[in-house]
Structure 1
């Protein structure tokens, strides 16, 4: 939709409401209902960080457990943009609720899993389910905002704050559950959340957000099966190649990665309904830069969330409950940072917001390097955890707000889907980084420090990218936005 048409629609809708209605936010009964399902992804991503030790102890395979995590994130990387496309065909609410059902099914299969193979399959189902929520939540919010002449900014902040809060609280919640009931509890806790979310979303006035009765053929074309297959070949072979660098590099995978990546880009540029809209990245530099920055940021984010809880248990000898509670400061600071980041974004724009987040990430990496097993008191660990909560809030609100700002209402579901894909690729890369820098588990200070040096290098690159970006104006405007996009 051209920007002028979007303005015309909002103007027409607002003319039927009270003056200034377009400045009113989307009500919390809508954004809050959608947030109940959107928190399932950060909840499951962060809880498993403290359950890894218990899962490995039961199944006797630390490397197998790492593939449980990778399977979930590879699946979500594929599922996020696909879910956004399916939402436009069948209705965002239908796909959202369908995702809830898959989360419930995956949780039940995981609780009953007799082997690590079954657990991997369970997390594939779980990954498909949780990937459906954020893209379709954004579509429903933007659809509601245009229908009633409301602003979507506050609703976006609600989703980000809820997601960040749950992600930060996840290790603490997971630690309490695992320490009390065993690792299976991180799966059965999904069931009441699924039930609550289904009731809330069905009762909320979100409509079907553009859904229609699409045929099976339309759905298959929308899925872009060939694009998905090529993506899986490229990302899986890349992970296997990078992991092999720790012992004996599997160089024969290099041409597989190269050919798979080239074929993927070639196919996506020509596909009528691409799985990953490479053409949008080519014409919209602001979006493509944001997605690359998102991938690097999430790689660092998950290095912290997967690495530090393992280090606390293996090296400091903490229980799952103690490790989770030690990560608790991340939660409180992350919530405050998200709210502060939202206000900063509204006042001065993306550059300042992201600069605060990336500098804080750099400082956090330096603090991790300074931590020593034998000398660091608990108070120091808590302070480091608190600092690590700052980048989560500022970077997330900055990057997600940018994606929302440069996408039209028809494209926002797909754009957020691509955002989630890059985040999940970052999560997969973090697993590789941890295996290369510290092995399958962080069992000494040197492994933790090598991980921290990676974060320092990545954060320094992010700071430079934000400072020298030509797509973020000094007052918050977004430059270089292609046709059909606009800045809020």
Structure 2
């Protein structure tokens, strides 16, 4: 890496507001809907199975859109993708505010998923480009701030949703995207650099459209299968395997692949990072959705009260991320985070309908510890393991794997809960969560490559 130019030794702090605000759009919208499902079902006389599509629609759109938009960021720079994406977020907010039916609301969530895809890849791209400009390979403080504004902030969604519903009904959970979108558009237009593309010395690569379509077909078939796990739908799993094989063959033969399969095949540590992301997200999203639904159905709390019970997860997570963000011990953070998830899953097995609220708040607070450690550590690990020229696509793929975990959580919740989220179903969900947390722990213990990441983080 070349030495930094005089006067260019520090990160451009003007980039932080649009980066953080853009990155927060997606995680907030993934969780804010949790407490709105019951009032939306009542408004449209819909069942829980119908309103579940409000969750799945955003995950489907985001899982496919994140790596695609990330790759476009790699090719064209973050500014145009950021502005288009945040504009779509505002349009989705208006569509949700005015939706006359559940079907239109699902469409609004699809548009919302696509629109919020640009924030995180753009932020990771800008961090990498600023690291190159300044000569600092590990901007720990900026990565910490980004973590605070992504997965950690997602946990505030239910509390924010409950407050918005109390003030303006469930449509307010869509309306909040309009001012956020406008703020992103103003900040992005004023601050984001024009035409900034990493490694743009040679001929610019083209987007691998056939690869994108095969990737989308693979994920669409897989995620639709996970939405409703039934033997009659096994053909979708088979279709995902066939499309995935065709995708791999295409990418191996393509001169400018959408996803460089060779790089991932030779980068086992990065693949393990993605596996950890799936396992950790399965636990986190199972808690956010499953535990929240149980608080309303099984414990009888209101949407606002259920959101407030989860608020300590957000507060503790923010505090833990702030206190540990600049420390380079990534492996230790992952180990403590995995153990923390295991403990929370075990405690959920002892929850019952008459459980004291203070006990439930204590469980939510305890989850804040792994929430604050895990997301930060996984993000920092990816930063050090990914190819710099494909940091946008790699960051997008990380979100794809996170939402694969969210889809697994949604599927597990659907299988565990019947007509309502009762305590027996919560205990069944806790067993699934415990299996995922145990996998997270075992993969982390066995991954020796994390020691190299620790050295890289310490040397930045």
Mark yes or no: TM-score above 0.5: yes
1:34 matched to 2:16: no
Structure 2 unaligned regions, length at least 5: none
Instruction: Please state if 1:451 is matched with 2:436.
Output: no
Name 2:212's counterpart in structure 1. Answer: 228
Alignment of 1:292 with 2:271, yes or no, is: no
Q: Would the alpha carbon gap of residues 353 and 211 (structure 1) be closer, same or farther in structure 2, given more than 3 Å must change?
A: closer
CA distance in 2, matches of 1:272, 1:319: 55
1:27 Cα deviation from its structure 2 partner: 4.4
Q: Helix, strand or coil for the counterpart of 1:183?
A: coil
Bigger CA drift: 401-410 or 444-453? Answer: 401-410
CA-to-partner distance for each residue in 1:153-212, whole Å, 9 max, x for gaps? 221111111224421211111111112211111111111111122222333364442189
Please state how far the C-alpha of 1:478 moved relative to its aligned partner. Answer: 6.5
- What do residues 321-368 of structure 1 show as CA deviations (whole Å, max 9, x unaligned)? 111111110111110122234244x1xx32111001110000110111
> 1:287/1:189 Cα in 2 relative to 1: closer, same or farther (>3 Å)?
same
The answer to whether the 8 A contact 2:60-2:223 is kept is no
The residue matched to 1:226 in structure 2 has which SS? helix
**How far apart, in 1, do the equivalents of 2:276 and 2:218 lie?**
20
CA distance in structure 1 between the partners assigned to 2:244 and 2:390 by the alignment: 24
Q: Of 294, 305, 308, which aligns to 1:325?
A: 308
Aligned partners of 2:262, 2:324: CA distance in 1, in Å?
30
In the TM superposition, 1:435-450 aligns within 5 A as: 435-439=414-418, 442-450=420-428
| Secondary structure of the structure 1 residue equivalent to 2:150 | helix
Tell me whether 1:461 sits opposite 2:448 in the alignment: no
Kindly indicate whether residue 87 of structure 2 is the aligned counterpart of residue 104 of structure 1: no
**1:145–1:253 distance in 2 versus 1, CA, 3 Å:** closer
Please give the alpha-carbon distance, in whole angstroms, between the structure 1 residues aligned to 2:156 and 2:197: 34
Q: Give the match's secondary structure for 1:338.
A: helix
Are the equivalent residues in 2 in contact too, given 1:74–1:425 (CA < 8 A)? no
Match of residue 82 from structure 1: 68
Q: Which of 346, 350, 359 is the matching residue for 1:380?
A: 359
Deviation at 1:434, TM superposition (A): 0.9
Equivalent residues of 1:361, 1:391 under 8 A apart: yes
Structure 2 equivalent of residue 411 of structure 1? 390
Using a 3 Å threshold, how does the CA distance of structure 1 residues 425 and 52 change in structure 2: closer, same or farther?
Answer: same
CA RMSD in angstroms, aligned pairs only: 2.5
Displacement, 1:313? 1.0
Task: Give yes or no for the alignment of 1:476 onto 2:454.
Answer: yes
1:126 pairs with one of 108, 112, 121: 112
Alignment CA distance shift 1:108-1:243 (3 Å): closer
SS at match of 1:275: coil
Q: Which residues of 2 match residues 33-432 of structure 1 at below 5 A? A: 33-59=18-44, 60-150=46-136, 152-204=139-191, 206-210=193-197, 221-222=206-207, 224-245=208-229, 249-344=232-327, 346=328, 349-374=329-354, 376-432=355-411
Give the Cα separation in 1 of the matches to 2:234 and 2:61.
25
Q: CA deviation at 1:135?
A: 0.4
Structure 1 residues 211, 122: CA separation in 2 closer, same or farther (over 3 Å shift)? farther
Contact 1:179 1:319 (C-alpha < 8 Å) held by counterparts = no
Give aligned pairs, total. Answer: 455
In 1, Cα distance between equivalents of 2:286 and 2:410: 7
Counterparts in 2 of 1:327 and 1:354: CA distance versus 1, 3 Å = same
CA distance 1:277–1:296, change in 2 (3 Å)? farther
Q: Which moved more, 1:446-455 or 1:263-272?
A: 263-272
Tell me which residue corresponds to 1:483: none
User: CA contact under 8 A between 2:386 and 2:394: conserved in structure 1?
Assistant: yes
The CA distance in 2 between the partners of 1:244 and 1:397, in whole Å, is: 31
Distance 2:74 2:146 in 1: 20
Cα distance in structure 2, aligned partners of 1:286 and 1:197: 34
Unaligned runs of 5+ in 1: 1-6, 480-485
Matched-pair contact (CA < 8 Å) for 1:338–1:393: yes
| Residues 168 and 328 in structure 1, CA contact (< 8 A), matched pair in contact too | yes
Is the 8 Å Cα contact of residues 36 and 303 (structure 2) preserved in structure 1? Answer: yes
State the alpha-carbon separation in 2 of the partners of residues 466 and 452 from structure 1: 21
